[in-house]
Amino acid sequence: MSNRFNRVSAWNILRRRSQEAGAVVSTLAGQLNAWLAGVDLGKGCKFYGRTTFQKAHDASMQFGDGCSFRSSSRANLIGINRPCIVSAQKGARLVVGANCGFSGTVIGCFSEITVGNHVRCGANTTITDGDWHQSDKRSGAHTPVIIEDNVWLGLSVIVLKGVTIGANSVIGAGSVVTQSIPSNVIAAGNPCRSLKEIRCG
C-alpha cells in the first residue's frame, strides 16, 4: 500500500512539474508571438497553449498587466475547442485592461473594442464589433464594443457590435448579446436580456 501511494504521489508531482514547465514555455512563446505581432502586452501575462495575434500595421492592440490566455484543453477542463485568436484590422483599436482572463476566446476588432479590468471570458467566447462580411452589401458599419470592469462572460457567449456591458454584470452561458446590458445585473438568452439585479453588501 505504501509503495503504491509513493508511486502515485511521485507521478502527481512529476505531472505537476511537467505542467508548470509547459506553462513557462507557453508563456515565453506567447510573449514572443505578441511582440512579433506588435502587441503592447503588459507585465505578468501568462499563456497556456498557442494564442494567435493578428494586427494590421496601423492598428493598435494593448493588454494590461496580469492577463491570461488559455488556448489548450488542458488549461480549462470545461472544454476549450479552439485557441485564443485576437485580431485588429486596418485602423482598429483594441484596449484590454489588467487581470483579464481568456479561454479559447476570439476577439475580432474592426473599429474599437474596449475591455475593462478583471473581465473573465468563459470558454469559447466571441467578441466582435463588425459583421465579418464587408463584401456583402447587407453588412452594416462597424460599431464599437465596450465591456466594463469586472464583467463575467459565461461559456460560449457571443458579444456583437455596438453594445456596452456595464460593470459587474454576469452574462449567462450561450447568450448572444445584441443590445447593451446595464451594470450590476445577471443577463442571459438569445437575444440577451437582463434577468436579475445583483445586490452587493
> Whole-model pTM?
0.85
**Looking at residue 78, what is its pLDDT?**
72
Of 33-37, 71-75, 174-178, give the range with the top mean pLDDT.
Answer: 174-178
Question: How much is the average pLDDT of 92-100?
Answer: 99
pLDDT by residue (tens digit) across 123-179?
999 999 998 776 666 667 889 999 999 999 999 999 999 999 999 999 999 999 999
Of the candidates 55, 47, 151, 60, the one whose C-alpha atom is nearest the C-alpha of residue 103 is 47
Q: C-alpha distances in angstroms, 41 versus 63, 65, 93, 118?
A: 5, 7, 14, 16
Strands 185-188 and 164-165: unpaired
**Count of structural domains within the chain:** 1
Could you tell me the strand order of the sheet in which 40-41 lies? 40-41, 60-63, 93-96, 112-115, 145-147, 164-165
Domain containing 38 equals 2-197
d(CA 43, CA 166): 26
Task: Output the pLDDT for position 80.
Answer: 73
CB atoms within 10 A of CB 87: 20
Distance CA 4, CA 9 (A): 9
Residue 118: name the closest of 149, 153, 94, 159 by CA.
Answer: 149
Is the sign of the CA dihedral 173, 179, 185, 187 positive or negative?
negative
For residue 104, the domain's CATH number is 2.160.10.10
**Mean pLDDT of the region 34-58:** 94
Mean pLDDT, rounded, for 30-55: 93
